[in-house]
Amino acid sequence: MTRVAVCAPATPILPQHAVAITALAAEIAPEVELVIHDQCFASEGHFAGPDTMRLSALLECANDPSFDAVWFARGGYGSNRIAAAAIEGMDDVARQKTFLGYSDCGYLLAAMYKSGIGRPTHGPMVADVGRKDGDAAARRALRWLSDGCTGLEPSLGETPAVAFNLMTLSAILGTELMPDLSGHVVMIEEIAEHLYAVDRLMFHVTSNLSKCGLAGLRLGRVTNVPNNDRPFGSQPEDIVRFWCERHAIDYLGEAEIGHFAGNHIVPFGVAPPLARA
């Protein structure tokens, strides 16, 4: 039995999300026991409770030896506000755990990767069960939590990799949360940003990552792009290729990650050979 704690470092989930994910786990991964922290339903303004509550719940889950993994409930915004304190408060038990999430929770994944805490992993979250066609993403995450190899990003190999939301990665650069990404493949995705904003983010990100000695960059999905008052004139892949070329970063093609049902799983670092087989 794999015991998985669910907490919400950023924004809350709805009770129906908890009901749906628990039922799905019982159906397809009965060997995974989900324990959903009450904090996941708390609300204070934008957040799943105040910073102190979200931090306390995260540390409670991370440092509890009865859990094998911590699954983040939802992104949104807010995990950066508690990330540094969370790293300080995580003990040796947390260093043995898997942490699964994406989007805004990339702040925590980055900080843990930098500090050598646990196995930070990009992948679907509990709230994805409420998205259109999100059942497929939730199934992928549950099966991976069960076997550690289902649903991995197809391009993964022996080169270490990380995956981030583009806005989140841009915000992490230059902060205490930023890990060393030399020799890594960096995968990016984005949601609900104008294409000119994607271009602006790529300017900032590639300007900084060009100094890191990356192995290359891959582009996941850019979804829910708002309409602008005029066409930008370039598509997401054109934008990424442009800025990669400008800053001498190898563009390696697409990745199956992002805010969509096909969001695949990217363990930070090098995935175990058995998982990649």
Could you report the per-residue pLDDT of 194-210, keeping only the tens digit for each? Answer: 999 999 999 999 999 99
Which part of the chain has CATH 3.50.30.60? 161-254
- Return the biggest CA–CA distance within the chain: 54
| H-assigned helices in the chain | 15-28, 51-62, 80-89, 106-115, 134-147, 166-172, 195-209, 236-246, 273-276
Which part of the chain has CATH 3.40.50.10740? 2-152
Nearest to 89 by CA among 54, 43, 119: 54
Structure-block tokens of residue 267 = 């363990």
Range 130-133 contact pairs with CB under 8 angstroms and sequence separation of 24 or more: 130/13, 130/14, 130/16, 130/17, 130/20, 131/259, 131/261, 132/261, 133/260, 133/261
Q: Does the pLDDT value for residue 60 go beyond 80?
A: yes
At 72-98, the pLDDT tens digits run 999 999 999 999 999 999 999 999 999
Structure-block tokens of residue 109 = 């994944």
At 145-175, the pLDDT tens digits run 999 999 999 999 999 999 999 999 999 999 9
State the fold for domain 161-254: Glucose Oxidase; domain 1 (3.50.30)
Residue 35 burial (CB count, 10 A): 15
- Asked if 185 and 220 count as a contact pair (C-beta separation under 8 A), the reply is no
Mean pLDDT of the chain: 96
How many helical (H) and strand (E) elements, i.e. helices and strands, does the chain have? 9, 10
- Residue 43 CA to residue 136 CA, distance in Å, equals 28
Q: Does the pLDDT value for residue 272 go beyond 80?
A: no
pLDDT at residue number 51: 98
Q: Does the pLDDT value for residue 269 go beyond 70?
A: yes
pLDDT at residue number 229: 93
- Residue 268 CA to residue 266 CA, distance in Å, equals 6
- Asked if 159 and 185 count as a contact pair (C-beta separation under 8 A), the reply is yes
pLDDT at residue number 132: 82
2-152: which CATH architecture?
3-Layer(aba) Sandwich (3.40)
Confidence at 176, pLDDT banded by 50, 70, 90: very high
Q: Does the pLDDT value for residue 274 go beyond 80?
A: no
pLDDT at residue number 119: 98
Confidence at 120, pLDDT banded by 50, 70, 90: very high
Tell me whether strands 216-223 and 2-7 are parallel, antiparallel or unpaired.
unpaired
Percent of the chain with pLDDT over 70: 98
At residue 217, the 3 state secondary structure works out as strand
- Residue 239 CA to residue 198 CA, distance in Å, equals 8
pLDDT at residue number 276: 61
pLDDT at residue number 103: 98
Percent of the chain with pLDDT over 90: 95
Nearest to 140 by CA among 57, 32, 54, 239: 32
